[in-house]
Amino acid sequence: MKPSQAVALHNVWVSMWARCTKPETKSFPAYGGRGIKVCDRWRDFDLFAEDMGPRPAGDYQIDRVDNDGDYEPDNCRWATRHQQSRNRRSTLMITLMGRTQCAKDWAAEFGLKEHTFRARIRRGWRPGSAGEKPAVRRSGVARSRAITANGETLHLAEWARRLGCNPAAILYRLQSGMSEHDAVTLPIPERPNSKLTLEQARLIRAAYPERSSLALAADYGVSKKTILNVVHERIFRE
């Protein structure tokens, strides 16, 4: 090992010990303060150097594979800041199809923006559905979306009025993969009463967030706002 490499590696070793053992160190709360320790073997710098080898050139830092594990040979590697950013405690890790990776990587694989994928997960979508279903624009932009069926082009809100339903019902159909033609021409099942009952409110709370607020709005023929009011017990309190 070159002298310059030895000095750089020694600095890593000193910093590692400081954040795990010295409360006055700024980063101590996130390491020693959480019970993260350095293994006995690495009390000896030479053994640490033997296990880790020289620090690679470039933007590499020592990284623990298991963020709740200690600094020890089986749990440490050299990683770039980019790799480390995907291995933080705050990183959302998702397992699909037998593979586990962060939300950012799944979003890239599905061809989605990360914030779109994360927003769907927060709204209660299953990870697979959050990646596979097409993005549907919301709010005024979604309502003004032009859809052509049977040679006639109308805004989504106008199709909803024709069907006698909330625009959310059509949005959910599109979100579920239904064609634009079927989404605006197939009749919406009639409901005897659009007003919710206490029993329906209980069913909605039991179904959320496994079923999204948009889907529940379509199910019960009410607005998404009404569903969220039920979920958060602003109405139908018990």
Return the pLDDT at 231: 87
State both tokens at 176.
Answer: 């579920």
18 and 54 both lie in a single domain: yes
17 and 72 both lie in a single domain: yes
Specify whether the CB–CB gap between 135 and 170 falls below 8 A. Answer: no
Give the residues across from 79 on adjacent strands: 61
53 and 79 both lie in a single domain: yes
Specify whether the CB–CB gap between 72 and 41 falls below 8 A. Answer: yes
Residue 46 within any structural domain of the chain:
yes
**Residue 64 to residue 35: CA distance in whole angstroms:** 14
DSSP string, the chain: --HHHHHHHHHHHHHHHHHHH-TTSTTGGGTGGGT--B-GGGGSHHHHHHHH-SPPSSSEEEEESSTTS-BSGGGEEEEEHHHHHTTSTTS-EEEETTEEEEHHHHHHHHT--HHHHHHHHHTT--HHHHHHSPP---HHHHHT-EEEETTEEEEHHHHHHHHTS-HHHHHHHHHTT--HHHHHHSPPPP-S-SS--HHHHHHHHHHTTTS-HHHHHHHHTS-HHHHHHHHTTSSS--
Q: How many domains does the chain have?
A: 4
Amino acid identity at 2: K
Cα-to-chain-centroid distance, residue 200: 29
169 and 113 both lie in a single domain: no
Return the pLDDT at 96: 64
Q: What is the pTM of this model?
A: 0.41
Burial of 42 (0-12, 13-18, 19+ CB in 10 A): buried
Return the pLDDT at 91: 59
Residue 209 within any structural domain of the chain:
yes
Return the pLDDT at 132: 56
Per-residue pLDDT of the chain (238 residues; tens, 9 = 90+): 788 889 999 999 999 999 999 999 999 998 999 999 999 999 999 999 999 999 888 888 898 888 788 999 998 989 887 666 665 555 566 776 667 777 777 777 777 777 777 777 776 666 666 665 555 444 454 566 788 899 999 888 888 888 877 777 787 777 777 888 888 888 876 554 457 888 888 888 888 888 888 888 878 878 888 888 888 887 877 6
Specify whether the CB–CB gap between 165 and 221 falls below 8 A. Answer: yes
Return the pLDDT at 70: 93
Can you give the residue range of the structural domain that contains 212?
198-231
101 and 70 both lie in a single domain: no
Residue 218 within any structural domain of the chain:
yes
Of the residues 103, 125, 147, the one at which a domain ends: 125
76 and 114 both lie in a single domain: no
Contacts of range 112-115, beta carbons closer than 8 Å, 24 or more positions apart = none
153 and 109 both lie in a single domain: no
158 and 202 both lie in a single domain: no
Q: Work out the angle between the directed axes of helices 156-163 and 167-175 (0-180°, nearest 10).
A: 110
11 and 63 both lie in a single domain: yes
Residue 35 within any structural domain of the chain:
yes
